[in-house]
Structures are given as C-alpha cells and as structure tokens.
Amino acid sequence: MRKVLLRATNVDKSYAGVHALNRASFELHAGEVHALIGENGAGKSTLIKIITGAVLPDAGEIQLDGKTIAQNSPRLAKQLGIAAIYQQPALFPELSIAENIAIGLEDSSVFSRVDWRGRKRRASQLLARIGARIDPDAEAGDLTMPQQQLVEIARALGAEAKILIMDEPTASLSEEDTQNLFAVIRQLRDEGVGIVYISHRLEELPLIADRVTVMRDGRTIDTRLMSEVNRQQLIQLMVGRELSAVFPKKSVQLGEVVLELRGLGCSTSGIHDVNMSVRAGEIVGLAGVVGGGRTELARIIFGLTPADRGEIVLKGERINIRSAGQAIECGIAYVPEDRRRHGVILDLPISANITLASLDRFRRLAAIDFRREREAAADYTRKLGIKTPAIHAAVATLSGGNQQKVALSRWLLTKPAVLILDEPTQGIDVGAKSEVHALMTELAAQGMAILMISSELPEILGMSDRVAVMCGGTIVSTLDRAEATQEKILALALGHHV
Amino acid sequence: MKLKPYKRELSASLAYAALLIVVAIIAPSFFSVTNLRDLALNNAPVLLVAIGMTMVILVAQIDISVGSQFAVATVAAGVLAKAGVPIPLLLPSIVLIGALMGAVNGVLIGKLRLPSIIVTLAMLVAWRDALRWTTGGEWVQNLPANFQWFGLGQSLGQWLIVIISVVLLVVFSWALRNLAAGRAIYAVGSDAEAARLAGIEPATFTAWVFALLGALVGLAALLNAVRFSTVPSNAGLGLELKAIAAVVVGGTAITGGRGTLIGTLIGVALLGTIGTALTFVGINPFWEKAIQGTIILAALASDFVLGQELFLTQRRSGAAAEKAS
C-alpha cells in the first residue's frame, strides 16, 4: 500500500445556500497521478480551493501526511508543499523566467540584495530537471503557452511541492505539447510527487492517470483504478445517466458547394495557398496543432484580418470581405474560441447578446422592437436548452456551457450559410458538449455548411465529413471521413507526409 | 429583482432626496420658483456635457478636454454673432464647431487607438492656449442686441435653455436604450473585441461618440453664452471635472459598459444643488468642493460594495442555473 499524502474527509461547503461540496472525500497517494473529473459545477474547483487554502470548508477535515491542517490558508498550503497550476498560466509577462521562478521562492525582505546569478542558476537547474529548453533570461510574455506551463511546473518544483494540482493543463495545448507535458508529469510522479489532474478530456486520462475520482453535484461519487474503467463508464458516473451516443453524427445528403477558398493567403497572419471547399450540409473539420494557422484562417474568412491573396467564393460568387460586418451580411458566422473573453458580452443581458449580430432585423422604424427581441431570445433559449432564470439576466450569470449556447444562438439567428466554429466545446461539460454536437448535426441536416476547428481529435473524427489538416499556415491534406484516423491527422499536422 | 440593475441610480436619488429634505426643514425659502429656475439654468450646460460624457465613459474612454472645447465654442459664438451671423445659423455653426473638435479626439482615439486620457489632456492644453494666444485674453464685447437670450427676452430665453436640455436628456436616454447604436455603445464599452466579432466596429463608434460629446459641448457653450451680454475667453474652467463627477456619481462604471443617463441627471442635480443648498442652510460655501469630493468617494465606495454583492449574486444564480440541469 502506498503512502497517503493528502486525505480530505467529509468536506462540506455552501455558498449562500448552494451546496458546492456535500461530504466530499478524497485521497491522494504519493507518486500517483489522480484524475479528478466531473461536469462543470460538480464541485472540483471548490475542492481544489479548499486544498490550496483559498477557501475554508464549513465542515470536514484535511490531513497532510496524517496531520490535520487546522487553519488552512494559501500561504500555509504553500509552505506545506501544495502547489497549483491553472489553465491560464499566471506568470508576470514583463519579468524574466528567472525572476518569475524566484518570486515566491526567495525569502527576501524589501531591502535584501538580489542575487541575480543565483537566481539564473537555480532557474536553469529547475528547467533542466523537467527537460525544458527555455532561456532563463527570456521574458515570460514572449513564451508560448506550453512553455509558460513548464515554467510554472519548474517554480512548483523549486518550492519542493509534494502535491501538484493541475487544472485543465492541456485545454489549450496541441497534441505534441500535450505529450511533452505528460512526460514531465510522469517524471514528477516517479519522483514521488502526488498529482491531482483535472480534465474534461476523458480520452487522455488512460494515458496519464493512475486513479480517477468522479464528482457530481458536490459529492465524490466514486474512485477507481484507471485501468479498470472505460470512457463510457466514466461518462455514466459523471452524468448519472447513460449517454446514447458520444457523437450524434448523421449522414446528410450533401448539396452544392457553398464556400470555396482558392489560393487564399494573408501575409500578416502567415496563411498561404489555402484551397478548400465546404458544401451545404457538410461538416468539415479543421485539424492541426496550435500555430498551424486554423484560427488565423477563420479570421481571414470572417474579415478580421482580410486576405491579400487568392479569393473567397460564396455560392459561386467571388466576394471581397474587409470586415466582420461584411462577412455577416454575406451570411458567414464565426463563433470564436475563448468564449469567455470574446464570444459573448458578459455585461449585456442574454436577449441582447443573442440579437447583437442581427439587430437590423429587430427594428421597428428606427428603434429596437423589444417584444420581438424577447420572443426570439426566448425561442432560442428554449431550442438550445439554455438554463437561465431570466432572459434579461446578464450573460455573466451563466455557466460556461450555457454561455457557449448563447454565443451559438447569436449566430444561428443571423441565418448563416456558412458557420465557422472555433473550438466549440472547449472547457464545457460533457452534457453541454453532446448537446452542442447534436445541434451541429441538426444544422448540417438543414443545409448549413459548417467549418469546425477543434484540437480534440475524437471530436474531429466523430463530427466531420471531411478533415482538412493544417500545418505551417496552409492546408496540407484533406481526408475523407472513412480514411481519417488519429494517427494520420497527427502525422500530417506535425508536418510528416503520409 | 428588476430594480437591481438600477441600484446606484436609486441610492443616488435617495441621497438627493435626503439633501432636499434637510434643506426643506432648515431653509424652506430654497424652494422658491426663482431659485429653482436659477439652479436649473446654472446646471443645464453641465447636464448637456454630462450626457455626452456618459456615452464616452460607456465606451470605456474619457474626455478631459471638454472645458477647453467649451471655451473655444463660447468665443466662437461671440465672434460669429459679432460678425453678423444670424441666430438661426449661429446655433448649427457652433454645434458643428464643437462636433469637429470632438471628432479630432474621436479619430485620434478610435482610429489611431491612442489612449484617450493623453489625447484629451493634450487637447485640454492645446485648445485653451490656442484660445489665449488668439484672443490675448480679451473678452468679446459689444455683441448685437439679439445675441442675449437669442433676442427672446430673459424669461422666455431661460425657459428655452432648460427645456432644450431636458428634451435632449430624454432623447439621448431613449436612443441609448432603443437604438441599435445605443446597444453598440454598451457592447463596445463592455468588451471591444467581442463587439468587433459581432460585426460592430469599435473604432467607428468610439469616434462618433467623441464627436457627439463635442457637439453637445458646443451647444452647452452657446446656451451658456447667451445668458450674458459679453463673452468671456476663459469659460468652462473645471467643466470636465464637474461632468465626469456627475457621471460617476450617477452610477456609470468608469470601466465602461454599464450606466444610464437617468443616473447622470441625478448626479448633476446632486452635485449642482450642494453649493446653493449650503448657502441657504448657512454653511460656509467654501465647503462645497470638499463635500462634492466626499460624495464622489462615497459613490465609488458603494460601487465597490455593490460590485462584491453583485459578484456573489451572479455566482449564486449561475450555480443555481447549473443545478437545474
């Protein structure tokens, strides 16, 4: 039996009447990767916050190495060797890597002299330990997201963390960077660090996790050995019901070519010689690694960074799109990545968010017709199953999955011919995810041409009629549904020829 | 529930009501028709500027050059009137001059993406000193007889000024709520990039809002100028502070995206009444600025407290919505 590092027993926490944690119990061994999964709102974040001392539990006990932690606080948790790394790296962008690592490690007063050389040496050593080739003098803001994560891990190592909590670390990583991160995680595990690993990507858990704990409605439902459960069982535990099919893809009679790109390029965003087409009723998956140019291509089509070479042909007509407004008029819709920041406007009510891109159609004389706006919003709220107390509530009050549905509603209301979805299910829970997939299927059946960018290969394989793989700013190959496999796509995306 | 978004407007009007009640008890003579009309008259120009300022702050920008624009427009009104421009032409000319000054800010800030605080700081100095250099500090005198009160006589002229201000408040308030452009202003101020992705051009709206503020400043300057028989070359000193303070006290978020013109009206009324009220109550009017400052701080502090509360209720209803699933 392995040594128990951390034990949480019957932890309870309520926020203003909502039971966020309901007698949750959790056990972490030294030298294991322990996955923590559950839908959004299941209580994972609250449990993590209690372990890291950010919030105090109402009841229950946290033990570290068999000793009860009485008054936990972020400071105490850090001293005890608990470190957490969140989805968005929290580095100071203007400071160097060495300084970023030093912050929080050095026990210095305001007037103590800075040991610049020592800082640099230590940073180099820590980075070398996890095999990261990063210059300690580089500014953190210049690093890529995966590099920044490695710096955070190095910082946790420097603090001699015994417990490392990782919240969705692979959410914005490409397949390749994910593999590198996994190698680092395995190394730390073998050194005896206990790792709590939170992820929505169930398919990656068998690759990295030793055990898995499933949470639902604030309770810890079950803890299993990863080798003894499959994906379907995990989903059942998470949702408490059986999901009929993971990807509700239906074959649809394909129509005319709706969108065609001929030799499209844009020098400012590094996109060149893109040739592709999307037909009515077709879902084309756009695969590739981060930096392959997928989002950049979408932004060209939507007029955000207009093309300077080649042409965009919509329903047989050559169009010249210079702004998002023009793209919308042409019948192109783009649901951006990173919905929390740009997909919806958090301060505006749900109804205003839904009609924002098609307000022209809600005009009576010069003014907005509030009655029709309400009806349209209520209509989409019902159709897409947006869970909200009121349509005049600010979008900020919704959960991630529901915010994404509001973003989708906005674009469906414009009745687009072409719908571009950029990471449509990133960071939303399993239930909402399959609802979004079902919706995509239905839209395709209605004859919409859909271009879907996704970093999740199962999603690409499960939803696409064809898969266009991008690498180095252009489409290197387009695979039919039948011939596409994870291995082929990955090889193409990484620049290998098949 | 429905009142929640208007909490700040509510608390500001409660504070105003409290002030009026205190004054009513100690000095009922404050509520004479003449005094109230003078009060409205004195604050009408501030209200007009504050309407434009509200929109600028709603798009998450600021304009501290309005005082200098006001001075330029005031002198321009005097000079044009003296040159024989007829009154029906004078009004649109001055509004246009104001709009052009505002458009300069708007283009620099919206299209070139320069920071508004610096651009308008430069304009504050530039317009004021350009004016000093051109006029040599001299006032415009010997204005035609029909300049004062637009030749309508004092009583009618006074009412006209108050009515124009109130009508514009109602019009802009309606427009912000009911026009697509009004909604775009809130969207741009809340999240400019998200607005751009929804097909709204933040640069265009930002530029227009500054031009609108300029036009309102021009109008305010003219309506203020016609109250007197000569035109000063140093008008509008400190106007930017009055307008910004009123907007903030009225509940518009300085970070943009949230606020209403009704709140701004209450802010103008609250800050504008205090000076006169002090005189009536018998307190040394030197306290006016200190008390105004305290009110601004109180407004911001209550923002902070309400903000925290709002955050909690949002999380609560968000969590509740998820529970319902």
pLDDT value at position B311? Answer: 45
The Cα–Cα gap between A181 and A172 comes to 12
Nearest-by-Cβ selection for A402 from B193, B194, B321? B321
Render pLDDT for B184-208 as a digit per residue (tens, 0 to 9). Answer: 999 999 999 999 999 999 999 999 9
Q: How far is A466 from chain B (nearest CA, A)?
A: 27
To the nearest whole Å, the CA of A126 is away from the closest chain B CA by: 38
Considering only CB atoms, which residues of chain B are within 8 Å of chain A? 178-180, 183, 186-187, 190-191, 193-201, 257-258, 312-325
Residues from chain B contacting residue A431 (CB–CB below 8 Å): 325
pLDDT bin (cut points 50, 70, 90) of residue A211 is very high
- Report the alpha-carbon distance of residue A99 to residue A101 in Å, rounded: 5
Chain A residues with beta carbon closer than 8 angstroms to that of B313:
397
Residues in chain B closer than 8 A to A428 (CB atoms): none
The pLDDT value given to residue A242: 46
B270 against A396, higher pLDDT: B270
Q: Write the DSSP assignment of B189-249 as a string of letters.
A: HH-HHHHHHTT--HHHHHHHHHHHHHHHHHHHHHHHHTTSSSB-SSTTTTHHHHHHHHHHH
- Are B258 and A347 within 8 A, CB to CB? yes
Task: Tell me if chain B has a CB within 8 Å of the CB of A412.
Answer: no
Cα torsion angle, A325, A327, A332, A336, sign = negative
What is the least distance, in Å, from the CA of B181 to any CA of chain A?
10
Q: Do domains A4-239 and A257-493 have the same CATH topology?
A: yes
B312/A16 Cβ within 8 A: yes
- Cβ–Cβ below 8 Å for A18 and B312: no
Pick from A370, A387, A393: CB nearest B325 = A387
Nearest chain B residue to A39, by CA: B322
Mutation site, B176, B193, B197, interface A, largest A CB count within 10 A: B197
Q: Does this model's pTM top 0.80?
A: no
Share of chain A above pLDDT 90, in %: 46
Is A467 a residue whose pLDDT tops 80?
yes
Domain A257-493 architecture: 3-Layer(aba) Sandwich (3.40)
Please compute the mean of the pLDDT values over residues A413-420 and round it to a whole number: 95
A251 touches chain B (CB under 8 A): no
Cα gap A19→A23, rounded to integer Å: 10
What pLDDT was estimated at residue B5?
A: 59
Give the per-residue pLDDT at A46.
87
pLDDT of res. B319:
40
- Average pLDDT, integer, range B121-130: 96
Residue B34: pLDDT over 50: yes
* pLDDT of B314 over the 60 cut: no
Estimate to the nearest angstrom the gap between the alpha carbon of A120 and the chain centroid.
Answer: 33
Give chain B positions within 8 Å (CB) of A366: 178-179
If pLDDT is split at 50, 70 and 90, which confidence band does A109 have? low
Residue A15 has which token pair?
């926020």
Kindly report the nearest CA distance between residue B300 and chain A, in angstroms. 19
Band of residue B117 on the pLDDT scale cut at 50, 70, 90 = very high
Residue A454 has pLDDT above 60, yes or no: yes
Domains in chain B (CATH in brackets) are 4-314 (1.10.3470)
Q: How sure is the predictor about A40, in pLDDT bands with cuts at 50, 70 and 90?
A: low
Which residues in B lie closer than 8 A to residue A328 (C-beta atoms)?
199
What are the angstrom distances between the C-alpha of A275 and each of A236, A311, A447, A455? 41, 10, 22, 21
Are residues B321 and A399, on separate chains, in Cβ contact within 8 Å?
Answer: yes
Is pLDDT above 60 for B316? no
Query: Which single residue is written with the structure tokens 């299910």?
Result: A425
State the pLDDT at residue B321: 41
Report pLDDT for B160.
93
User: Closest-CA residue in chain A for B259?
Assistant: A347
| Cβ separation B197–A327 shorter than 8 A | no
Of all residues in chain B, the one with the smallest CA distance to A370 is B178
Cα(A462)–Cα(A425) distance, integer angstroms = 13
Q: How far is A233 from chain B, CA to nearest CA, in Å?
A: 20
Q: How far apart are the first and last CA of chain A?
A: 47
ipTM of this complex prediction, to 2 decimal places: 0.83
- Measured between beta carbons, the chain A residues lying within 8 angstroms of B257 are 345, 347
Task: Give me the residues paired with residue B274 across strands.
Answer: none
CB contact under 8 A, B316 and A41: no
User: What is the residue-averaged pLDDT of chain A?
Assistant: 87
Provide the token pair at A370: 């509030």
Ranges A32-46, A460-474, B127-141: which has the least confidence:
A32-46
| Interface probe with B: pick from A44, A216, A301, A356, most Cβ of B within 10 Å | A356
Q: Which of A336, A348, A397 sits opposite B187 (nearest CB)?
A: A348
Measured between beta carbons, which residues in chain B are less than 8 angstroms from residue A371? none
A8 CB within 8 Å of a chain B CB: no
A471 pLDDT more than 60:
yes
Q: Do B317 and A357 touch (CB under 8 A)?
A: no
How does pLDDT run across A282-315, given as a tens digit for each residue? 999 999 877 788 999 999 999 999 999 999 999 9
Which helix (H) or strand (E) is A265 found in, with range?
strand A257-266
Tell me the mean pLDDT in the region A85-90.
Answer: 77
Higher-confidence residue of A163 and A105: namely: A163
With cut-offs at 50, 70 and 90, classify the pLDDT of residue A202.
Answer: confident
Q: Does the distance separating the beta carbons of A387 and B321 come in below 8 Å?
A: yes
**Contact between A336 and B197 using a beta-carbon 8 Å cutoff:** yes
Chain B residues within an 8 Å CB radius of A217? 323
CA distances from B79 to A293, B91, B225 (A): 60, 13, 12
CB pairs under 8 A between A and B: 110
Cβ of B198 and A345 within 8 Å? yes
Across the interface, whether the CB atoms of A393 and B315 are under 8 A apart is answered no
Domain ranges of chain A: 4-239, 257-493
| pLDDT value, residue B145 | 87
**Shortest CA distance from A327: residue in chain B:** B199
Cα(A221)–Cα(A22) distance, rounded to whole angstroms? 11
Q: Is A400 on the interface with B (CB under 8 A)?
A: no
Q: What is the pLDDT of residue A241?
A: 54
Q: A346 and chain B: CB distance < 8 Å anywhere?
A: yes
Q: Which residue has the higher pLDDT, B221 or A140?
A: B221
Burial group, residue A91, by CB count within 10 angstroms (0-12, 13-18, 19+):
buried
Q: Is the pLDDT of residue A160 over 90?
A: no
Distance from CA of A337 to the nearest CA of B (A): 11
pLDDT at residue B2, as a whole number: 41
What is the predicted pLDDT for the residue at A247?
77
- Amino acid at position B135, single letter: T
Indicate yes or no: CB of B187 within 8 angstroms of CB of A345. yes
* pLDDT score of A171 more than 90: no
Q: Under an 8 A CB cutoff, do B320 and A343 touch? A: no
Highest mean pLDDT among A29-43, A360-374, A386-400, B66-80: B66-80
The whole-chain average pLDDT of chain B stands at 89
**How far is B118 from A356, CA to CA, in rounded Å?**
32
B186, B199, B317 ranked by CB distance to A389: nearest: B317
Reported as half-sphere exposure (CB side, CA atoms, 13 A), residue A251 has a value of: 2
Mean pLDDT of A415-430: 88
Domain spanning A4-239, CATH architecture: 3-Layer(aba) Sandwich (3.40)
Cα gap A193→A162, rounded to integer Å? 5
Give B-chain residues touching A413 at CB under 8 angstroms. none
User: What's the pLDDT score for residue A129?
Assistant: 82
CB contact under 8 A, A327 and B199: yes
Contact B196 A17 (CB under 8 A): no
DSSP letter at A2? P
